[in-house]
Every structure is written in structure tokens, then in C-alpha cells.
Structure 1
Amino acid sequence: MAAAPGVRRSELGEALRACRNAFIGVGVMSCMINLLYLTGSLFMLEVYDRVLPSRSVPTLIGLIILASGLYVAQGVLDLIRGRILGRVGTSLDEALNARVFDTVVRLPLVAGGRGEGLQPLRDLDNIRSFLGGMGPGAFFDLPWLPFYLAICFAFHVLIGVTALIGAIILVTLTVMTEFLSRDPARQALGLAARRNDLAATSRRNAEVLVSMGMSGRMSRRWADANQNYLDGNQRASDVAGGLGAIAKVMRMMLQSAVLAVGAYLVIHQEATAGIIIAGSILSARALAPVDLAIAHWKSFIAARQSWHRLTHLLQSMPVRATPTLLQTPSSRLSVEAISILPPGDQRVIVQDVTFALTAGNGLGVIGPSGSGKSSLVRALVGVWQPARGKVRIDGAALDQWSSDALGRYIGYLPQDVELFAGSVAQNISRFDPEATSDAIIAAAKEAGVHEMIIKMREGYDTQVGEQGTALSAGQAQRVGLARALYGNPFLIVLDEPNSNLDTEGDEALTRAIRGARERGAIVVVVAHRPIGIEAVDQLLVLRDGRMQAFGPKETVLAQVLQPRVTAPSPIKIVSDGGVAKP
């Protein structure tokens, strides 16, 4: 069915539509399976109405052989149907897992701290698990309920009416399960997310908790969060489990009721003994999908909520079109009156910053804490999008590049360096599968860490551990610097690159900056220590998110460090060294 003009189809829906042939096959198998479910009823009917009155052993043997063959066919079809549904879930995961992972990576850059963390991946797991479970099979069997009821009516009207009353009761319980379990399930999910966030935060800050005696207090917070989650989860389970138990009891009562009605009809010679047993089995089979659906309703609710969340998230973060590949940048970085808002926030952190750098320039960015230095450099590398203004490389705005293409020309060392599980070489090469040893070693030497690395137990093959825990903070920062320099990028942005370095590391950093500038790179360094700006020739001063000065380093330092008798006016140092005051 074609989508209406202007209506964007859900990516999840498209992924399921790609499996429509599999669903058609499941539907055909469900038809055959439900017809084969009549085997037990018809077998009992024939045994009681034909075999017992005639006392014919050959007839009994023939019925047994026929029923056995039908049961085997039913089991094989049921097995194949389950495997097909499981593979549908796997196919959905394979089609969307890369897209969902990309969304998880981009989400903090768009929503900031209000992002859902790893929830999108859990949502995809929920949908896949539900499709691979017994729940979908029950929903495929539900449409056959009227068929079984019709056969019950064919046996006798009273048997049909009894089965119909039971079906109405169970369907009512199903509807109640839907309405009563929706809110508890949603609340339990939110409580689980808060509990998991607390555990992850505590794990990342284990040293702080232990060293300052906070572990006991955090344990109490965890116990409270965990208790809230258990209470919420218990409420959801109580609703689904309680209604499921009621449905199970009602189904057993219905089966006995059909037996009783059948016995009444036999007493009045309106039915045979075979109809008693066949009607009981058939009515139980008719309501089995309803019972199974109620039993799996909790997983169905979770999968449906995951579906809605994931659909909304993917629609809010559409696939980025791949732009035309531009030439390798080589000459200029320009910042045009950019203003920056943190992701998911409305506070302007950096406002109306303008400057330009050419190949070989080194820019130092200084200013008090909270002045917007880190926010500015995040915009320079394309991590945060400016709310206003443009950052351009060789005249092209950063949004004209794909992140993968632009990343080859950018080296970025963030303030908080975190390495990935893998070897030192893999981290330096940014996990490039085509990286050569020469390129990796060249980046390490440029960063001044080659000697440090070869002294490690396994050299470049040393495993850094999860989050780089096998290295000290200084070692991790120096390896991060080598990663930023890998591939000779045109723009290198270093956010407080010497915060964990010793004297030797500071000297290596200075040499690396000078070496990068000599080969024509633009280097931007955020620094709080004078050694950080030793190798730059330009300086930018930020205060309260506004540019206070920009120009040659010596001139700007002379203006910034001069004694102040009165409150200074904002100063801008132009490229020729002159001073312009408003």
C-alpha cells in the first residue's frame, strides 16, 4: 500500500514489510496448524462413536496411525513457524541495529543529558525477543477462535453457546489486561532506567565513592531505587499474572462446563458420547490462544512501548543524506558569528564569536572556567551544531560534510580522554581496519609517545582495557594525542591537552603542536597553563561566552595582562596587530 503524500513511513514498519513473505508463510502455516488441531477432537469422536460400539481393533489401529501422522505434521509445522518468527526478529535487528547504534551515539549531541542512553538498543532487543517468542503465534491463532466455535455449534447449539460464553469472558479479560497493565508496565520501565543510570554512575565514580566514604550512602540510594523498581515491576506482574490465573481457571471451568452440557445432552439422547469429549477438547483449543495471549501480554506491552519509542526516536533523528565528497581541506578555518547552545538546553553559552585562521596557524583559547572554551571547540569539530552562524573549512560549512568524511581531516582531544577496549595501536589508528604500522608509529612519534609505548609489556599491542583503565591518566592523554594526530589531519583541536601531563609530556605536546603547524595544519589549543599556548601564534580570550580579544599572542597577552584601573571594554585585536575598541 502506497504511503500518502507527505507521510513518512516508519523505519520499523519498513523493516517488517520487508519480511511480509515470511509473515504470509506464517499465516499459511497457522491455517494448516489450526486445521490439524482438530485431530484430537475428531480422533476422540471416532473412538467413542465408531471404535467402541463396533469393537474393531483394525479401525482403532488405523485411527492411531492416521492421528500420529497428523500430530507429527502439526509439530513440524509449529516448529517451522516458531523458527520463521525468530528469524523475522533477527532480520529486523540486522536491518536496524546499525541505525539504532548511530542514533545512540548521536543522541547525547542532540538531546544532551536528557537522552535515553542505551534505551534504544534495549527497545530493539525487546521487539526482537517478542517476535522470536510464543506471543506472535498466539496472535496468529486468535482469528481461528470463531472457526472452532462454529464447529462447537455444529455439534450442538448448547455446546456452542457454552463455548461462546467462555470466549466472551476470556476476551473481556484480555481487554482488561491491556488497560490495567499499560500504566504499571510504563512506570516499571521508567524505574528500571533510573536504577540502571544510578548503577552506571556509581560504577564510573567508584574511586570517589570509596575514597570519600560515599559508598554506604550510595548503597542506600541504590536500595531505594531498586525497591521502587521491584515494587513497580511487581505491580505490573501482579496485574498480568492475576488476570492470567483467572483466565486459566475460567478455561478449565469452561472445559468442565462443556463436559457437563455434553453429558446432559447424552442423557436426553441429543448427542453421542464422542461429542462430549470432542466438544470439551475443541472448546479448550478454541480458547487456548486467548489464554496464551494473556500469559504473554506483559512482553507484548513492553514490545509495543518499545516500538512506539523507537519509531518516535528514529523519526526525530532521520538518516543523514550523504553529501557530495569535497576536496581535502588545506587552507583556511573561518568562524562566522557563531552562538552555541548546549544540546537539549536553551542557554546561550557562546555568543557571536568570529575569527579566521589559515594553514600553519596555532590558536590558543584562554579564559576563566565556564567561559565557553570547551563549547567553542566542540562546535569547531562539528560535535555541536551552532544555533547561529557557521564554522567553515576552506569555505565549506561543516554541515556540508558527512561525519565520516570530515573526521579524516580533524584531530580532536577532548577534555576528558576515554580510550576504547582494544590495543594501543587500534586506539591510535581510530580502529581503522586499513591502518598501516608506519602510519600508527608516525602518529605516536609525532605525539612523542613512541618511546613510552614500546616500553609497555606488549608495546603497541598492549590492551588498554575497558575505558582505558590499564593506562594512567597521563598515558591515556598522550595516546589520545597520538590518536588526534593520526593521519595528518588538517584541523587539530586540543582541549586542555596537558591537564594530566608531566614535564616530559608538556615538552612532547609543544613539539607536536609545532610539528603539526610546520606541515600546514591548523591547531587550536584550550589551555589554563602557559605551557599549553607556548607553541601557538594566535590567542583568543573568552569571558562569559563572548570573545574579549583575538589576534597575535604577544599583543593579546600584553592587553590581557596589563594592570586594570577601570573595568575594561571588550577588546578585539585585528590581524595586523592594531586594537579596535567599541
Structure 2
Amino acid sequence: MAALRGARRRRRGDLRAAFANAGARSSAPEPEPAPGSELACALRSCKAAFAGVAVFSGVSNILMLTGAMFMLQVYDRVLPSRSVPTLVAMAILAGVLFVGQAVIDLVRGRIMIRIGAELDEAVGGRVFTAVSRLPLYIGQQGDGLQPQRDLDSIRTFLSSAGPGTLFDLPWLPFYLAIIWSLHPTLGTTAACGAFVLVTLTVATEILSRRPMGAASLSGVRRNSLAEASRRNAEVLAAMGMGKRLHDHWREASREHLTQQQRVSDIVGGFGSFARALRLMLQSAMLGVGAWLVIQGEATSGIIIAGSILAGRALAPVDLAIAHWRNFVAARQSWSRLAKLLARLPQDALPMALPVPGSTLTVERIAIGAPGSQRIIVQGMEFSLDAGSVLGIIGPSGSGKSSLVRGLVGAWRPLAGRIKLDGAALDQWSSERLGRYIGYLPQDVELFAGTVAANIARFDPGADPQAIVAAARAAGVHQLIIGLPNGYETQIGEGGTALSAGQRQRVALARALYGDPFLVVLDEPNSNLDSEGEIALAGAILATKARGGIVAIVAHRPNILGTVDFLLVMKEGQMQMFGTRESVLSKLMPVPQVATAGLQPVFKLTPTAELMNTPDMETGK
């Protein structure tokens, strides 16, 4: 006996060392992703459209000279000559040019809108995939929908007047050169004003950068809290937590609003000063022009033309400050989205493997929750052949649900491998692997849509006969056809139109759809009545009869009559594995008081193998 205990201690020491090394490897810093590579590629695919926008911007800026040139000619040619035909001809020409400029600006804006839509089309699918896969890598952290909001922010900015302003800014020297050609003194005055406005723009960027980042983070926290409250509305109402959560949200909201106000004060203050400076500069241009006329160095037309050109030259800088908040928000969204897509690169499609139908093998795996380095399950090792049913039992918190999440590939092992027919799960594409796995999680989640669509996993080419077959296998066919619209009944978001037991049975039908080889059920009878439990047992036996493998996490002993093997877990480790008879022979039923609603429990006998193993809880 002492030798046996010594061997077990040595084996546990080896396991701890191995999994400590695995945890150390998993916590190693990841290389910094190349910023924006995927988003940049998507934008580069629109380079022809951007070139068109640049050309249209150039033409538009040249046509912007129309007003100034018209005023110059009116004052210097028309008024001295008093020629009405000249005035009419010039007015018609100016009108045509103004209409042309409006058309060009319209086309430029529409091109930018389509660039935003093209970017959304190019990476929108990847962003959705990232949103749905991110919890599998880092867990439920922050606002899960933030990547989608970031993409919307980038698209909205591209569709706004902001990008047009950026395309107009390079034309500032062109306008200054035109003003200089009218008179060097006017050019110097306009250049000084432009320098001050550009300085204000740089100051806006420097002073608003930190508050904008803080406002973005506080906004994410506020949205996360609101989303968590929405998901748990029933709990808040039932336990009177609404007021306290509301106060917590108000605190987060106040922090967000404080940061937003700081940003608004900075951007608004500089924007107001920039607008005042631009108006002041136009008046200064008029004053300087008048002085030049008095000195006999300029004509009256130059006064008006110089003022108009100065206003036009500095307008993009003024607009850049006004749109700076949107620009910074889009830049932050771009940075977050680029890092996200770099962390979750597109999976290369592996070679299609044969349909599994032989074995499930678990090789000394270690499993931890995504985003955490704490190992929940370790040292798990067993193998099942086709036509086997495994029951997984153990006290609460022993790692049963974590194990089955690893079996279906939802949580990737930190060490070890899980194989189907000898091929590790990571050798399959998730789409193809999903055809061979049926999974009923502990917390059932259905999606907005029809009952049929949920059972068929939203496969547009689903065979109606296969849907009905899955419903019959789950014993839910009669229940479904009793609904108002049968299989076409809309169940609402989360399946709220169905009761908890009905949702669980529909989810069971979804798990059985397509006759998957591996069916994993996490407490499948937690919400079932006696009729539902009979249907569940029939589904398990039918899967076994067709050569599938079933793994069941069980708290109630009723379902254990269908299993071939039992796996007993404690503190994330396998305490016992074997045939049902061999494991149950080491378990002794404990007499319980005959109280309604209580289920029998099992107590482990004090054998050497089961020392320190707690009672198996069977009720919730």
C-alpha cells in the first residue's frame, strides 16, 4: 500500500511539472502583430477608387478658384468697361463651373461611401468571425461587440466629409501660391494665418489624444456593463439588483461623460478659435488689400479675390479641426481592429480528412479557460470506441464542463491532444469538424429564427427529412408540430418563445442533426420532465446503435443506466475510469430521506484508489 501511494505521489509530481511547463509556455509573450496588415490590404484593393478621389479633389480645388476669379474680373474688367455682355458671359461661365464643381463633389462623396462599403464587405465577415471566436481565446472580456462597432466607425468616417478634408489639405500651398502671385504681402499674410491654424491642429491632436483614449476605454466598460445587465435582466428583477447595477452603470457612465467632455472642450475650444482666426484673417486680407490699393500697388479686384482665396485656403484646416474627433475615433478603431485581426489570423483550410467513425482518444490533456493561465483539467487520458457511451460524474467545480468543452474543440488544450480516428482536432477545419460533432451545452443557447433553422444549424441547404429525423430522435417532433406554425415557428432571440425544457429538447435535436459521430451532452436532463428523460435515453441508445460515441455529464443518476463507461473527476483530475459495472461496484448507495425532489446520491467507498474523493453530488 505504501508503495502504491508513493507511486501515485511521483506520478502527480510529474503531472504538476509537465503542466507547469505547459502553463509557462502558454504565458510567453506573443510577438507584436503587424499593425493593420489585413485592413491595409483591404484598402489597397480600393487604390483605384482613392486615385479617382484624388483626381476629383484636384479638379474641385481648381474649380474653387471660380468665385475669386469671377470677382477679380468683375471689379477689374466689367466695372471699368461697364460691359453688360461681358458680365452676362462671365456669369454664365461661372454658373457652369459652379454646377460642375457640385457634380464633382457629389461624385467624390459617393466614391468615398462606396469605399467604406467595400471595406465593410472585405473584412466584415472576418470581423464577425473574430467576434464569435474571440471568447474561445481570451474569454468573455470587455464589450464583445466592440470590433463590430469599430468597423462601423471606420466605415462611417470614410463616408463622411472628413476624408474629403484630408484630400483638400495638400492644396493649401497651391492657394497660398495663387495669393502670392496677386501680391507678396497678401501671400505673406495668408501664410502666417495658415501657420497659426496648422499649429492649432497639431495642438488639438496632442492635447486630445489621451482623453480620447480614456473616453474610448470608459465607453467600452459602460457598454459591457449595460450588455451584462441586459443578458441577466431576470436575475436583476428577481433579486432586486437593478438599482445597484444602475448605480454601478451610472458611475461608469459619469466617467465616460467626463472624458467625453474633456475631449469636447479641447476640440470645441480649438475649433472655435480656428473659425474666429479664419474670419479675422479674411478681414485682415481685406485691410491689407485696401492698404495696397491706397499705395497704388493693387487693384480693387485683388482685395476681394485675395480675401476669398484666403478663406478657401484655410477652410480645410478649419474643417480638419472640426472633424478631428471623428478622425481620432476612426484611427483608434482602426488600431484596435488591426490588432484583433492580427491576433486571430485566417485559418488555412487543412486537407479534408475521412469522416470519423472509429475512436475518440484523449491523451494527457490540460485545459484552462480562455484568457486564463489557470489549469482546470489536467492529466486526462482515456479512449472510446465507436458505439460507446461515457458518463462523466463528479462534484461541482471538478472540471466536467471544461472537459467536454475541450472534447468538442471549443476550448483548445494547453497540453496533450484530443483525437478522432487518430487525427487531432486541430487538423480539421472548424466548419468540417462541426458536421461530426453534436454538442448540448449546460446553458442552452438558441438563435432568433425558426425551430427548423435552429435544428438544422442554419444550414440553407438542410434536408427537411433530416430535420424531422433529428427532432424525432430527440423526442420533440410532436411538441414542435403542436406549436402555432410547427417547424416554421419563430422562437425569438435566445428561444424565449419556448420554455426551458422545450429549449433543451430543441437543442438536443440540433446536437443530433446529421447523425454526428461524437455527441457531447452537458447535463442534458437538467430541465427535462420524465417524458423528456425517456426521449433523451432513447436518443443516446439510438446514437450508440448507429456507431456513434456519446459523452454525458450527469448529476442525476437516472441517465447512468444508458452508459457503458464512467469517468469520475475531482479537482480537474481523473479519479477513476472504467466500465459502468466496475466503477459502480466501488460506489455504495447512501440511504436518503424520502423527500420529494431529492435524488439518490452516491458515496465513494474508502478504497486506496478513491481516497480523499468527496461525495458525488447529483442534485443542483
Class of the TM-score when normalised by the shorter of the 2 chains: over 0.9
Residue in 1 that maps onto 2:470:
443
Q: Is the CA contact 1:527–1:533 (under 8 Å) kept in the aligned structure 2?
A: yes
Residue in 2 that maps onto 1:27:
54
Of residues 280, 287, 304, the one that matches 2:314 is 287
Structure 2 counterpart SS, 1:525: strand
Q: Could you tell me how far apart the structure 2 residues matched to 1:219 and 1:341 are?
A: 33
Residue in 2 that maps onto 1:425:
452
Residue in 2 that maps onto 1:224:
251
Q: Could you tell me how far apart the structure 1 residues matched to 2:547 and 2:38 are?
A: 44
Can you list the C-alpha shifts for 1:479-534, whole angstroms capped at 9, x where unaligned? 00000000000000000001111111111111110111011110000011102322
Distance 1:96 1:138, change over 3 A: same
Q: Which runs of 5+ in 1 are unaligned?
A: 1-5, 572-582
Q: Is the CA contact 2:168–2:316 (under 8 Å) kept in the aligned structure 1?
A: yes
Q: Is the counterpart of residue 556 in structure 1 residue 586 in structure 2?
A: no
Of residues 524, 544, 560, the one that matches 2:571 is 544
Following superposition, the deviation at residue 187 of structure 1 comes to: 1.2
Q: Could you tell me how far apart the structure 1 residues matched to 2:349 and 2:208 are?
A: 43
Of residues 529, 546, 551, the one that matches 1:519 is 546
Residue in 2 that maps onto 1:234:
261
Q: Could you tell me how far apart the structure 1 residues matched to 2:109 and 2:356 are?
A: 54
Following superposition, the deviation at residue 566 of structure 1 comes to: 5.3
Q: Could you tell me how far apart the structure 2 residues matched to 1:568 and 1:160 are?
A: 96
Q: Is the CA contact 1:496–1:532 (under 8 Å) kept in the aligned structure 2?
A: no
Q: Is the CA contact 1:361–1:523 (under 8 Å) kept in the aligned structure 2?
A: yes
After alignment, is 218-227 or 168-177 more displaced? 218-227
Structure 1 counterpart SS, 2:373: coil
Q: Given residue 555 of structure 1, which amino acid in structure 2 is its aligned partner? A: S
Q: Could you tell me how far apart the structure 2 residues matched to 1:62 and 1:261 are?
A: 31
Q: Could you tell me how far apart the structure 2 residues matched to 1:411 and 1:323 are?
A: 21
Following superposition, the deviation at residue 446 of structure 1 comes to: 0.4
Residue in 2 that maps onto 1:130:
157
Q: Is the CA contact 1:11–1:311 (under 8 Å) kept in the aligned structure 2?
A: yes
Following superposition, the deviation at residue 113 of structure 1 comes to: 2.5
Distance 1:419 1:268, change over 3 A: same
Q: Is the CA contact 1:526–1:532 (under 8 Å) kept in the aligned structure 2?
A: no
Q: Is the CA contact 2:143–2:221 (under 8 Å) kept in the aligned structure 1?
A: no
Can you list the C-alpha shifts for 1:428-476, whole angstroms capped at 9, x where unaligned? 1111111121111100000000111111111111111011111111100
Of residues 420, 426, 437, the one that matches 1:410 is 437
Following superposition, the deviation at residue 115 of structure 1 comes to: 5.4
**What is the 5 A alignment of 1:323-472?**
323-472=350-499
Q: Is the counterpart of residue 202 in structure 1 residue 242 in structure 2?
A: no
Q: Could you tell me how far apart the structure 1 residues matched to 2:562 and 2:494 are?
A: 30
Structure 2 counterpart SS, 1:113: coil
Residue in 1 that maps onto 2:67:
40
Q: Could you tell me how far apart the structure 2 residues matched to 1:278 and 1:570 are?
A: 96
Q: Given residue 286 of structure 2, which amino acid in structure 1 is its aligned partner? A: L
Following superposition, the deviation at residue 564 of structure 1 comes to: 6.2
Following superposition, the deviation at residue 561 of structure 1 comes to: 3.5
Residue in 1 that maps onto 2:10:
none
Q: Which runs of 5+ in 2 are unaligned?
A: 1-32, 590-602, 612-620
Residue in 2 that maps onto 1:310:
337
Residue in 2 that maps onto 1:579:
none
Q: Could you tell me how far apart the structure 2 residues matched to 1:97 and 1:347 are?
A: 33
Runs of 4+ in 1 over 6 A off after TM superposition: 6-9, 562-565
Residue in 2 that maps onto 1:91:
118
Structure 2 counterpart SS, 1:389: strand
Following superposition, the deviation at residue 558 of structure 1 comes to: 1.9
Q: Is the CA contact 2:393–2:554 (under 8 Å) kept in the aligned structure 1?
A: yes
Q: Could you tell me how far apart the structure 1 residues matched to 2:607 and 2:361 are?
A: 30
Q: Given residue 127 of structure 1, which amino acid in structure 2 is its aligned partner? A: I
Can you list the C-alpha shifts for 1:151-174, whole angstroms capped at 9, x where unaligned? 111111111111011100100010
**What is the 5 A alignment of 1:58-69?**
58-69=85-96
Structure 2 counterpart SS, 1:92: helix
After alignment, is 166-175 or 111-120 more displaced? 111-120
Following superposition, the deviation at residue 317 of structure 1 comes to: 1.0
Of residues 98, 119, 128, the one that matches 1:101 is 128
**What is the 5 A alignment of 1:453-532?**
453-532=480-559
Residue in 2 that maps onto 1:141:
168
Q: Could you tell me how far apart the structure 2 residues matched to 1:50 and 1:363 are?
A: 98
Can you list the C-alpha shifts for 1:125-177, whole angstroms capped at 9, x where unaligned? 11111111100100101011011111111111111111011100100010011
Of residues 40, 44, 51, the one that matches 2:78 is 51
Q: Is the CA contact 2:36–2:338 (under 8 Å) kept in the aligned structure 1?
A: no
**What is the 5 A alignment of 1:200-279?**
200-279=227-306
Q: Is the counterpart of residue 163 in structure 1 residue 203 in structure 2?
A: no
Percent identity of the aligned residues? 60
Residue in 2 that maps onto 1:535:
562
Following superposition, the deviation at residue 416 of structure 1 comes to: 0.2
Residue in 1 that maps onto 2:144:
117
After alignment, is 163-172 or 550-559 more displaced? 550-559
Q: Is the counterpart of residue 191 in structure 1 residue 218 in structure 2?
A: yes
Q: Could you tell me how far apart the structure 2 residues matched to 1:140 and 1:167 are?
A: 17
Structure 2 counterpart SS, 1:550: strand
Q: Given residue 380 of structure 1, which amino acid in structure 2 is its aligned partner? A: L
Q: Is the CA contact 1:497–1:532 (under 8 Å) kept in the aligned structure 2?
A: no
Q: Is the counterpart of residue 299 in structure 1 residue 307 in structure 2?
A: no
Q: Is the CA contact 2:143–2:224 (under 8 Å) kept in the aligned structure 1?
A: no
Distance 1:565 1:459, change over 3 A: closer
Following superposition, the deviation at residue 361 of structure 1 comes to: 0.1
Q: Could you tell me how far apart the structure 1 residues matched to 2:565 and 2:259 are?
A: 58
Q: Could you tell me how far apart the structure 2 residues matched to 1:462 and 1:566 are?
A: 53
Can you list the C-alpha shifts for 1:236-291, whole angstroms capped at 9, x where unaligned? 11211111111111100000000000011111111100000000000000001101
Can you list the C-alpha shifts for 1:200-238, whole angstroms capped at 9, x where unaligned? 111111111112222122222222222222222121112
**What is the 5 A alignment of 1:567-578?**
568-569=608-609
Following superposition, the deviation at residue 182 of structure 1 comes to: 1.1
Q: Is the CA contact 1:339–1:353 (under 8 Å) kept in the aligned structure 2?
A: yes
Structure 2 counterpart SS, 1:551: strand
**What is the 5 A alignment of 1:170-181?**
170-181=197-208
Structure 2 counterpart SS, 1:275: helix
TM value normalised by structure 2: 0.90
Q: Is the CA contact 2:563–2:580 (under 8 Å) kept in the aligned structure 1?
A: yes
Q: Could you tell me how far apart the structure 2 residues matched to 1:522 and 1:565 are?
A: 29
Q: Is the CA contact 2:35–2:335 (under 8 Å) kept in the aligned structure 1?
A: no
Residue in 2 that maps onto 1:70:
97
Following superposition, the deviation at residue 565 of structure 1 comes to: 7.5
Structure 1 counterpart SS, 2:209: helix
Structure 2 counterpart SS, 1:173: helix
Q: Could you tell me how far apart the structure 1 residues matched to 2:559 and 2:217 are?
A: 45
CA RMSD between the two structures: 1.4
Q: Is the CA contact 2:586–2:605 (under 8 Å) kept in the aligned structure 1?
A: no
Following superposition, the deviation at residue 199 of structure 1 comes to: 1.3
Can you list the C-alpha shifts for 1:23-81, whole angstroms capped at 9, x where unaligned? 11111111111110000110000000111111110110011011011111111101000
TM value normalised by structure 1: 0.95
Q: Given residue 330 of structure 1, which amino acid in structure 2 is its aligned partner? A: G
Distance 1:22 1:428, change over 3 A: same
